[in-house]
Structure 1
Amino acid sequence: MNTEFIFADRQFSLIRYPEKHQHVSLQAWDSADELIIEHIETLISDAKLPVGRGDSDGAVMIFNDDFGALGCWFSHLAPHWVSDSYISLRSLHENLKANQLLDISAADDKNALHCAPLKTLTSVQSLTFEPAQAPSLIVLKVPRALALLEQQLIDLQKYITPDTHIVATGKVKAITKSVLNLFERYIGPTTTSLAKKKSRLVFATPRNSIKLANSPYPTRWQCKSTTGELLTIDNLANTFSRQSLDIGARIMLEHMTVSANDVVVDLGCGNGVLGVNALSLAPDAKVIFVDESYMALESARRNVLNNFPDKIDQCEFVASNCLETLLNRENRPAVTKILCNPPFHQQNAITDHIAWQMFTDSRELLIKSGHLVVVGNRHLDYHIKLKKLFGGAKVLASDKKFVILGTAKR
């Protein structure tokens, strides 16, 4: 496992949070990080960027820093750091602390989400963010979701000027024509660098006059609950299955059962459609929506209010890496049922370690005889993992592509 980032005569120890679950073949930075660091350091050293070292509060903004590599490197510039990912935020905090970059005297160390000297913002907070001054530099890693990029570029329109340097980076395969078209549409003339180590830079020059665009997000669609009620579902830009009900959730809705006395966790909730459906099935149930995306959690909150506003006090919305936030509570909730549609990627890496952690955490959190219900593609063979952890799993429903598995804590 490579955790030592050595570049341009500087060295940082960097991990992907949580370190104990970091896959041995994955590291906390990539060639896109190196390329944009090299470019910006050259601009600063050549005095082509009006940012100093330690005296440029708010002059720099960093978007979509996967695991805090850019936040650590540019921490001396006191940037605003923006992400939709709880895991990215925790990675940033741990890496700042490990490299003695976290100002403990200014930060409440009990609150892992406060990262002095950086000013951290979730993507939900950034929707209404107004900086005290126009930033001189925007550093942006191209996110996996084009919709998130579009929302961020729309947000940037409100406070950039023609003097703002906007530099983005990503793997060559991520710098698509669609990505460049978004920069052209919302910012201005856009060019790219040559590829280096399979990564590339994007340069966007703000127009002298930018007509502020209206955001197309959240998107809204409707679906039927298990009981036949019509549910209205809103989806902020970075929410999974933003445009329509995904196939896995559809089959789960057809076969869900929830009782009035259940404490339900919608794990990896996305827009919260499964948790909202639980309220339709059992209006007295308590539902805890858990996701690492702040936009997903906000979408879920809105969807409870859209459909069952009188049930909002029975709901909780928790940013977490799998279930660790709930597991770390002094008084854990007495969870009787966990509904889970696990992801099989983290950022741009395909991996099954998140599903494994979700299942392991579920076994620890559930009360005795509590149930975990999982939906996934048949080829992922989740039944093998569930058998190792729970002693077995039953097929509750299936079709040609998906399977729903149920298991109980003994």
Structure 2
Amino acid sequence: MNDRLTTPWGTCTLARFPEDPRDRLRAWDASDAYLLRHLAASRTPLTGAVVVVGDRWGALTTALAEHRPTQITDSFLSREATRANLLRNGTDPDGVRLLTTQDTTPSRVDLLLVRVPKSLALLEDQLHRLAPGVHEGTVVIGTGMVREIHTSTLRLFERILGPTRTSLAEQKARLIFCTPDPGLERGANPWPYRYQLPDGIGPLSGRTVTNHAGVFCADRLDVGTRFLLRHLPSGRGAERIVDLGCGNGVVGLAAALANPEAEVLFVDESYQAVASAEATYRDNAQGVAEFHVGDGLSGMPAAGVDLVLNNPPFHSHQATTDATARRMFTGARRALRPGGELWVIGNRHLGYHVKLRRLFGNSELVASDPKFVILKAVKQ
């Protein structure tokens, strides 16, 4: 939905991406508004190199567009939302520098605004990468809802950049103020992280996985993926397989090893995830593979895929929603050829079988345990 954010510099009309009339979630929250109020009230200089990190739907970047900020995000959807919101408010997106978490960070940062992410690992990685550009005069301000800012969050700022304190809460939001210490011994950036998979999981046993910061299950194989690996289809020949929402690419890699004639496409909306999947694949396989950052299968030609493997998320930042799963299922159906299959793993309580029957006209239970179900839907 479109929503209006009133700032000290005017009112912005904002929306999430992609726009969905059924989505009632806002494109900004109280922490965005709190930060903008503080910048105006404190008369913080908005000159020099302004860098905005983790701006979820472009609210901060859009509000500060006249100051030509650099935005850094791990999310394709957030980046596209920013572009759309800039245009919606009469600003040329080319006037703002849009970077991903895989791009080289700015060499100098005069004002650093950080929207605290859900992942502490992603925050750690970004602070490490930005630290060389931060100087003694840099103003560093973080923002987030109270439930998102913990003692561990403040310790990261303090350990990597310098002394840190917080504001009083307003509307359940809080600010973080950090004073850079250029002489701080911060140690090395631990990301990306590599670990060895356990034995007993078929062709993946003992193989090495690469995880960039912020990607799900950074240091271990999660139980849901382990369950799916035991039931993946094999011997399918020269087919086109998609690991949709690929994360670190373990599922797609397993499909490639079990189906050596197949071509595998790894897709995620996270730049960190796709970089992880590519590194994991290159270390362990030699077949034909593609790696794509985007909004699911929205850009793929229709009826060109034989098999889609999917473990959809059911959170968008802190909000619980089935919107992402719904878009993934719809995109998969459009991309599948007649007779093509979508395999989905999810928690039992999510009721994906109902959505699949409504969309595909069928849903078959492949396997289940007390927590998870694996479902198969066939395009008629």
Structure 1 residue 316 displacement after superposition: 1.1
**Matched residues in 2 for 1:22 and 1:204: separation?**
39
Corresponding letter in the other structure for 2:31: A
Native 8 Å contact 1:226 1:281 kept in 2: no
**Matched residues in 1 for 2:26 and 2:226: separation?**
35
Native 8 Å contact 2:2 2:13 kept in 1: no
Corresponding letter in the other structure for 2:237: A
Match of 1:207 in 2: 181
SS at match of 1:359: helix
Structure 1 residue 6 displacement after superposition: 2.5
Match of 1:286 in 2: 263
Is 1:40 the counterpart of 2:18 in the alignment?
no
Tell me which of 95, 100, 116 is aligned to 2:94: 116
CA distance 1:171–1:228, shift in 2 (3 Å)? closer
Tell me which of 74, 83, 91 is aligned to 1:93: 83
Question: How much identity, in percent, do the aligned residues show?
Answer: 38
Match of 1:268 in 2: 245
CA distance 1:408–1:135, shift in 2 (3 Å)? same
> Could you list the runs of 5+ residues in structure 2 that have no partner in the other structure?
none
CA distance 1:95–1:130, shift in 2 (3 Å)? closer
Match of 1:30 in 2: 29
Is 1:169 the counterpart of 2:146 in the alignment?
no
Structure 1 residue 408 displacement after superposition: 0.4
Tell me which of 211, 224, 228 is aligned to 1:235: 211
Q: CA RMSD in A?
A: 1.5
Native 8 Å contact 1:168 1:201 kept in 2: yes
Match of 1:110 in 2: none
Match of 2:322 in 1: 352
Native 8 Å contact 1:234 1:271 kept in 2: yes
CA distance 1:236–1:22, shift in 2 (3 Å)? farther
Equivalent residue runs for 1:318-357 within 5 Å: 318-326=292-300, 331-332=301-302, 334-357=304-327
Corresponding letter in the other structure for 1:32: S
Equivalent residue runs for 1:91-170 within 5 Å: 91-102=81-92, 115-125=93-103, 128-131=104-107, 134-170=108-144
**Matched residues in 2 for 1:41 and 1:291: separation?**
37
Structure 1 residue 226 displacement after superposition: 3.5
**Matched residues in 2 for 1:130 and 1:89: separation?**
17
Deviates more, 1:115-124 or 1:206-215: 206-215
Structure 1 residue 41 displacement after superposition: 1.8
Scaled by the length of structure 1, the TM-score of the pair is 0.89
Native 8 Å contact 1:21 1:353 kept in 2: no
Corresponding letter in the other structure for 2:148: A
Match of 2:190 in 1: 216
Scaled by the length of structure 2, the TM-score of the pair is 0.96
**Matched residues in 1 for 2:179 and 2:94: separation?**
30
Match of 1:111 in 2: none
Structure 1 residue 222 displacement after superposition: 2.4
Match of 1:362 in 2: 332
Deviates more, 1:224-233 or 1:272-281: 224-233
CA distance 1:228–1:95, shift in 2 (3 Å)? closer
Structure 1 residue 219 displacement after superposition: 1.7
**Matched residues in 1 for 2:375 and 2:140: separation?**
47
Native 8 Å contact 1:191 1:203 kept in 2: yes
SS at match of 1:116: helix
**Matched residues in 2 for 1:129 and 1:93: separation?**
20
Structure 1 residue 42 displacement after superposition: 2.3
Match of 2:351 in 1: 381
SS at match of 2:365: strand
Native 8 Å contact 1:140 1:168 kept in 2: yes
Corresponding letter in the other structure for 1:226: G
> Could you list the runs of 5+ residues in structure 1 that have no partner in the other structure?
103-114
Structure 1 residue 8 displacement after superposition: 3.2
CA distance 1:341–1:264, shift in 2 (3 Å)? same
